[in-house]
Structure formats: structure tokens, C-alpha cells
Structure 1
Amino acid sequence: MNLFVIWALTTICVMAEVAHEENPYTKAIKNNKQWHSKHGYVQVRPGAHMFYWFYFANGTQINADRKPLIIWIQGGPGFAASGIGNFAEIGPFNMDMQPRNHTWAKERNVLFIDHPVGTGFSYVTNNSLLVKTDREMAMDLARTIKVFFKRHKEFRKTPTYLFSQSYGGKLCPRLAFYLHTAIEKKSLKINFKGIGIGGGWVNPKESVLVQPEFLYLTGAIDRNLYLSSSDVAKKLVRAIETQAYSQADILDDYLFQTLNGQGELNFNNVYAASPYPALEELDTKMNQYVKPTLTGVNKTIKWTYLSVKAYQSLKQSFLVPSVSFLEAILEKTKLKIAIYNGNLDVVTPLGGASNWVHNLKWHGAAEFAKAKRHPIRGSRNGYYKEMKRLSFWWVFGAGHWVPEENPEAMAHIMDYLMAEDDGDSKN
């Protein structure tokens, strides 16, 4: 047998083996048939299409409308909820395509939306349609949510909550206010009950101001780098306070480079390994295994966990705070609010989050400041305090992704927010 024949036979065998390789996502679905979901597109503007992926509570449509409904607002901006929120944090399967024990889809309906347009499976026919402001992004999301509830009228009376993370946490108060206004004007019919903000970039200056000290106190940077980065942070804060956002954006990039001057830091969790190698693998899995199973999805899209184009389009809005919308919600609505932050988070350090929450201007601010803390359920999971409709949670052992890094504390936060009787929330 000559070498060519041997090579040909070997090639055929390898190809046959690859051809018969089972799709791990398809296998996961076969082994866990209960996870029924629906997905689709909403054209929010001509040429701008937003993708959503909806999991029924416990994977079944039967009595799903009697379970709470969570709308997940991802961060970034430009991180894809269909992959990060879904597979990296709270969906039925993890990034290894294995069942997640603490999925939010148990006893709850979960709606993921790839936002802004141009992110994940959402797309635009022209890059000029990418959003440039938080207002534009929130309007697109509000339109998507309106269409979803028109398509699924059975959920209009279902208790519905927004849960958000990072930049999504900055967007959440604005979106919540838009939804509340639409409900009052009777252009939207949903039973909107509350919002959760995790690692929220709500007041960027407060987060930025404490980053150098937090990294210094945890040992991630030395004293010299602490002093030099603190100077940059103070200049950045002054630029934000004077609304010089172009200058602030330049200083923000410089601060990031400065803080990484002694080696690359993991801003998601100061003591954990970087999540990005796993997210890069997720790119491959989403395109190779997940996308082919989603009927109706634009198959020309190459899914990436972060849309750089969408991120860059929002650069001028990145450091604009959304505190005023949160204060308006506290003053003008009956929405219940839970704000939570991990103690290992570098993007939004816990101290900075506590500062901006305690500086909120609302009718219960003085009482909130004096309120005592209670332990979070479980062992050494942290503390929380509450007053009227606002609660703040110090979550231990978690960084920027609280749902995945401390699911026990996260379960308490969700139970608290969704409890009809506030007296039950401490149990």
C-alpha cells in the first residue's frame, strides 16, 4: 500500500469521526428535555433587529404564567446575554454544556435579550443604526419588551422583574422608568414589580474613585502604583463631574492601562483567574454547536461574546451616570429595588457601591442610612440592609458576577425581592 493510499484512508477515517461527533449542546438538550424555550427577533427600528431567548419556568409552558418572570439586562456594553447571561451565569446549562444546579429558570421564567443591537444574535443592516446613547439603547429594549408581551399575552399579569449587571445596572434604572411610564400611559400591559442591580455601573465616578485603594488594600498593586493611579482617578472624577466626557473617556483608558502596569488584573474578581479564555471558547461553541439548533436565527452572524462595534459606539455614554433615574423610581413608583455587589469586584468595588447607594436623594434616605444590617442566608455570605422599598447587599466571596460566584446569596436576594410579604424576606 503506497503512502498516498494510507494518507487518503487516514483522512477519511478522521473526517468520519468528526462527522459523527455528537453536538454537546444537542446532547445536553436530549438529556434534559424539560428545558423548553422560545426565541425570536423584534425589529425595533427599520434595519435594527433584537434577538431574545425565553426560558419557561421549569422548562414547561404549563402554569408558567403563575411563576415570576425575570428580564435579564446584560452589561458591557456589548456583552451578549444569549451567551454570557445564559451559559456563563444563570441559564439551564453552563459553558461546558452541562446542567447548572442554580439556574434561574427553576421556578422562574427568564428572558434574555441581546442588546444593544449589533450584539450577540442581534444585528443591524447598517452600522449607522448602532446606538450611541443609553437613551437609544433603553428605547430599543423597551420596544422589544413591549413586543414580547404582545406575543405572549399570558404573561401580562405575571410578576415581572428586571435584573441587571454592570453596565446593564446603569441602564436598568432608565429602562425601568421608561417601562413604568409606558404602563401608566397604558401603552404597555405588564405586572412590573421590581428591579435588581448587581455590580451596577450606576455612578461611575464613585466606582472609579475607590478602584486604586481597593486594589492596593487587596495586595493587587503596590504603593507606588496606588499613588500614581489615584492621581489619574481623581482627574477622571473631576472630568465626570464637569461633564467633560471626551476627556473622561481618555482618562478612563489611561487609568485602566496604569492599573495593569504591574501585570494584567482580573477586574471581574481580584483573586480569580481571568474569565476570558473560557469566553473565547464560548465563541466557538455558540457558533459551532448552539447556533445551528436555533431556528430562525440569522445564520450569517458570527456570534461573539463581546461586540466591539457596539461597545465603541457607546463610548461617549460610558461614564454618564444614571443616578437621577434611580432616584425618580424611588420617589415616583412602587417598584421594589435590590442593589447588590460582590466584595471581590474591581469594576465596581463594594465600597464605591455602598457610597453611591447611601448618597441617593429620596424620601427614605435618612432612615436607610441608620438601618441595621442583617446576615445574608447561609454561612458567611455577607450582609444586607433595607428601608421601605430599597435594599443593599454586601455579598462575600463574589466578584462582578454574583449569580455564578455566590448563588446561595443570590437566591436570598431574589427571594427577598420577589416576596409578596416583606416579613418573610429575612427567613
Structure 2
Amino acid sequence: MKLFLIWIWMATAICVTADTVDEENPYTKALKSNKQWHNVHGYVQVRPGAHMFYWFFFANGTRVNAHHKPLIIWIQGGPGFAASGVGNFAEMGPFHMDLKPRNHTWVKERNVLFIDHPVGTGFSYVANSSLYARTDRDMAMDLAKAIKMFFRRHKEFRHTPTYLFSQSYGGKICPRLAYYLHTAIEKKSLKINFKGIGIGGGWVDPKESILVQPEFLHMSGGIDRNLYLSSSKVAKQLVRALETEDYAQADILDDVLFSTLNKQGEINFNNVYAPSPYPELEELQKKMNRYVKPSLSMVNQTIKWQYLSMGAYDSLKKSFLVPSVSFLEALLDKTKLKIAIYNGNLDVVTPLGGASNWVHKLKWHGATDFAKAKRKRIRGARNGYYKEMKRLSFWWVFGAGHWVPEENPEAMEQILDYVMDESVQSIN
């Protein structure tokens, strides 16, 4: 019986290998039939044994005059979601998760740099688990090193207007990373034309997001009144722990809050009214390993790409609830960067009301004027509103959850245009 099972396993393995060899690769076919979408990829050793993968797409799919187009560095959330797949295929790259062309790709008229971070995520890898990032500082320092090396390798982009755009936990890292890059530029250890940042569904001030979650789910019909009352008690306890910086207790209560909110059925925290994105991400994971990975010559083909690295995620658990508000305030007061904060109105992870609360509580020289600023409509039909003052803008995006670039690309396009509008002068 054992020999029979071994024979079956060998026969199956041979068939799978044969199918893979003979099968036409739909990803490479899509690349060839759609302007080629020229791109480069590589690795940066950010620490001994810790290697970060980057994947760069040239604006409009061509190297010609690409350095005259804006450059966006995408900072994915999680922590541990792989930008090479989630940001690229699920949100703004040239192809959807089904490997068909995306009409609203950011790569039209813009260069986009995806980085798998923290180390151990996606195609990034570590020699051993002790090298995982343990803090937000570790994560931001590694990213800063990868970005520095990218611009050393691609000097033609040093004068290109460059922007950081981020999401979720990436939105929490973004202000810290931006501050590190700004400091490096001032010290002349980094040569880039750094112009601004965008933070979407940012986990910048966890306290404010957590406080609003139970009420948002209750008002939207996600949970009933009894569950709203019980979860609100847990949320308030969690916030008290955060206010006293008892992060160990806060972490325990965070797990309790999550399980409490899901007692009446699993909630899609990405979008309260949408189906779970995870079945599609599971399919993407298969396609990344079967079709995309073989096209990337620099990638060790034995690496199993996963849309979420649990090792990287768990290693940062003690940092989950630590805010990054102080870095954002420093950027507003000490730099000329344009800063856009945007949030979907169907987002459960970072409810829109919570985002509005923490943005309006920021302590910076323009805070009073920002609070008084009136909202304007985002162009298009029912896309939401935005307000602006000096270099800060806040965007209420309708019809979108946690993944604004994919769920409301029309509003996202205006946000991108706004931040990258060189005619709008920064005000000190």
C-alpha cells in the first residue's frame, strides 16, 4: 500500500510538472499583449540576512521619458500584506487579480514602486526568523534603506517628483518613514525630489479608530444593539489602556474586541457591505506562485509567495497599537510636504468618523484654520467631499472601504492629481 501511494504521488508530481511546462502562462501573455508594461525588480539587503524585494513599473509601460513622470512609492498595510500582489494586482497595478488589464491603473502617467515589507513578506525573505522587524522603527528603517538603494541604482529618477502613498498599517508607518527620508535628504545622504505623502485608511491613531468601530457597525447594521453595548465597553477599556500606554493589556483587549464584534457572524473589516476579499486573495496566491513568480528572474523560485506573512505579522504584534501621530505633526510643522489623508465611508478597520476625529486633533500650526475650512465636493457623482488648509487635506470618500484605490478609483484619481499638482505651492 505504501509503495502504491508513493507511485501515485510520483505520477501526480510528474503530471503537474508537465502541465506547468506545457501550459501557456497567462501573466506573461498579458504583459506581451498590453504594451509590454516594462518593469524591473530586485533585492536590497537592508540588514545582514534580511533581503527586501522591490518591483518597479515604468509610467505608461515604457522607459522613454519615464523620469519626467511622477514616481509613487506604495507602502502596503497588514503588517505583512505583500505589495507585490495585494497593492499591485488587487488595487492599482496594470493588471487585476484575474490577470486582465486594469483601466484605472496608477501606472498610467506615473511610475510605481512596490516594496514587499516588512522583511519576510511576499518575495522578501530573511535568513532566520530572528531577523523579522520587531518595531515600527525597524520597519521604517528597513524601508528607508531599500528606497535609498533604489535611487542609487536608478539615478535618472533622483530629480523626479516622488511621493509616498500608503494604506492601513502602512499609513501608520508612512509618517515615520517620510520623516526619516526628509531627515536623510537634509543631511545629504539621500538624493530624491520628495514632494508629498498620501495616507489611506491609516492606522495612524489606533485609539480613535477603535473608539468608533462598535458604533459604526451598529449604525450600519453590522451588529445589533446588544453587541454594540458589550463591544463598546471593551473598546473603552482598550482605549484607557492605550492612554496609560499599557500596550500589553491593550493587546489582550484588542483580541477580545475583535472576537466580540464577530460573535454574530464574521465581519468584513475591509468593507462592511462587501463580501470577504480573502477567497480572491487565496486565488491570487496560487496565480502568483504558478504564473507570476516564474517571470521574475531575480526571485528564488523556491520561495512560496503568500499574500500575508504571519511571521512578519506576529513579530510586530507589540507595535500594533502604538500611534504615529507625532511624526505626522512634525511633517506638518517642519517640512514642505503636501499631505493628503483619505478614508472610505464603508471602512471598518479605520472608520471614517475615527479618521476625521484624529485628523482634526492634530497639533500643528494650521490646526485652527483647518478646523474652520469648508468642505468641497470630490468631482464626479456622489464621490464624497474634501477640505484643505495649507499643505493638509482630508478626504471623505464615498462607496469605498479600506481599499480606496480599487473601490473608488474616480475619487482616488482626484486625490493623486491634487497631491501631485505642482502648480499648488506649499505654504509654510
TM bracket, shorter-chain basis: over 0.9
1:308 to partner: Cα distance? 0.2
Tell me the equivalent position of 1:5.
Answer: none
Aligned match of 1:331 in 312, 330, 333?
Answer: 333
Aligned match of 1:232 in 228, 231, 234?
Answer: 234
Aligned match of 1:120 in 119, 122, 134?
Answer: 122
Quick one: structure 1 residues 66 and 218, their matched pair in 2 at CA, closer, same or farther if it must change by over 3 Å? same
1:293 to partner: Cα distance? 0.6
Which SS does the other structure have where 2:148 is aligned?
A: helix
Counterpart-to-counterpart distance in 1, 2:252 and 2:74: 30
| TM-score, structure 2 normalization | 0.95
Stretch of structure 1 that moved more, 408-417 or 238-247: 238-247
2:113 counterpart of 1:111: yes
2:89 counterpart of 1:80: no
Which SS does the other structure have where 2:51 is aligned?
A: strand
Post-superposition Cα deviations, 1:9-57, rounded to whole Å, max 9, x if no partner, equal: xx99998766533111111112113300000000001000000000000
2:26 counterpart of 1:39: no
CA contact (8 A) 1:34 1:58 kept: no
Structure 1: 4+ residue segments shifted above 2 A? 11-21
Tell me the equivalent position of 1:390.
Answer: 392
- The one-letter amino acid paired with 2:194 is F
Post-superposition Cα deviations, 1:286-319, rounded to whole Å, max 9, x if no partner, equal: 0011001100112221100000000000000000
CA contact (8 A) 1:25 1:289 kept: yes
Which SS does the other structure have where 2:147 is aligned?
A: helix
Which SS does the other structure have where 2:388 is aligned?
A: strand
Quick one: structure 1 residues 302 and 363, their matched pair in 2 at CA, closer, same or farther if it must change by over 3 Å? same
Counterpart-to-counterpart distance in 2, 1:35 and 1:196: 25
Tell me the equivalent position of 1:348.
Answer: 350
Quick one: structure 1 residues 222 and 286, their matched pair in 2 at CA, closer, same or farther if it must change by over 3 Å? same
Mapping for residues 19-98 of structure 1, pairs under 5 Å = 19-98=21-100
Tell me the equivalent position of 2:163.
Answer: 161
Tell me the equivalent position of 1:292.
Answer: 294
Tell me the equivalent position of 1:203.
Answer: 205
Unaligned runs of 5+ in 1: 1-10
Counterpart-to-counterpart distance in 1, 2:116 and 2:16: 37
Counterpart-to-counterpart distance in 2, 1:157 and 1:254: 48
- The one-letter amino acid paired with 1:36 is H
Counterpart-to-counterpart distance in 1, 2:239 and 2:356: 17
Count of matched residue pairs: 415
Counterpart-to-counterpart distance in 1, 2:142 and 2:62: 28
CA contact (8 A) 1:345 1:398 kept: yes
Which SS does the other structure have where 1:422 is aligned?
A: coil
Which SS does the other structure have where 1:103 is aligned?
A: coil
Quick one: structure 1 residues 22 and 169, their matched pair in 2 at CA, closer, same or farther if it must change by over 3 Å? same
Which SS does the other structure have where 2:329 is aligned?
A: helix
Aligned match of 1:418 in 403, 417, 420?
Answer: 420
Quick one: structure 1 residues 15 and 112, their matched pair in 2 at CA, closer, same or farther if it must change by over 3 Å? closer
Tell me the equivalent position of 2:4.
Answer: none
Post-superposition Cα deviations, 1:69-126, rounded to whole Å, max 9, x if no partner, equal: 0000000000000000000000000100000000000000000000000000000001
Aligned match of 1:175 in 174, 177, 180?
Answer: 177
Which SS does the other structure have where 2:96 is aligned?
A: coil
Post-superposition Cα deviations, 1:374-410, rounded to whole Å, max 9, x if no partner, equal: 0001000000000000000000000000000000000
Which SS does the other structure have where 1:87 is aligned?
A: helix
Tell me the equivalent position of 2:258.
Answer: 256
Counterpart-to-counterpart distance in 2, 1:14 and 1:358: 56
Counterpart-to-counterpart distance in 2, 1:48 and 1:14: 32
Counterpart-to-counterpart distance in 2, 1:403 and 1:65: 23
Counterpart-to-counterpart distance in 1, 2:16 and 2:147: 47
Counterpart-to-counterpart distance in 1, 2:33 and 2:154: 28
Quick one: structure 1 residues 235 and 101, their matched pair in 2 at CA, closer, same or farther if it must change by over 3 Å? same
Counterpart-to-counterpart distance in 2, 1:13 and 1:169: 45
- The one-letter amino acid paired with 1:285 is K
Counterpart-to-counterpart distance in 1, 2:43 and 2:361: 40
Unaligned runs of 5+ in 2: 1-11
Quick one: structure 1 residues 188 and 135, their matched pair in 2 at CA, closer, same or farther if it must change by over 3 Å? same
- The one-letter amino acid paired with 1:298 is N
Stretch of structure 1 that moved more, 23-32 or 188-197: 23-32
Which SS does the other structure have where 2:394 is aligned?
A: strand
Counterpart-to-counterpart distance in 2, 1:111 and 1:340: 20
Tell me the equivalent position of 1:133.
Answer: 135
- The one-letter amino acid paired with 1:255 is L
Which SS does the other structure have where 1:254 is aligned?
A: helix
Counterpart-to-counterpart distance in 2, 1:114 and 1:17: 29
Counterpart-to-counterpart distance in 2, 1:14 and 1:417: 48
- The one-letter amino acid paired with 2:41 is H
- The one-letter amino acid paired with 1:69 is L
Stretch of structure 1 that moved more, 326-335 or 18-27: 18-27
Post-superposition Cα deviations, 1:121-140, rounded to whole Å, max 9, x if no partner, equal: 00000110101000010000
Which SS does the other structure have where 1:408 is aligned?
A: helix
Quick one: structure 1 residues 18 and 141, their matched pair in 2 at CA, closer, same or farther if it must change by over 3 Å? closer
Counterpart-to-counterpart distance in 2, 1:77 and 1:14: 33
- The one-letter amino acid paired with 1:364 is G
Counterpart-to-counterpart distance in 2, 1:81 and 1:219: 32
- The one-letter amino acid paired with 2:405 is P
Aligned match of 2:377 in 375, 378, 381?
Answer: 375
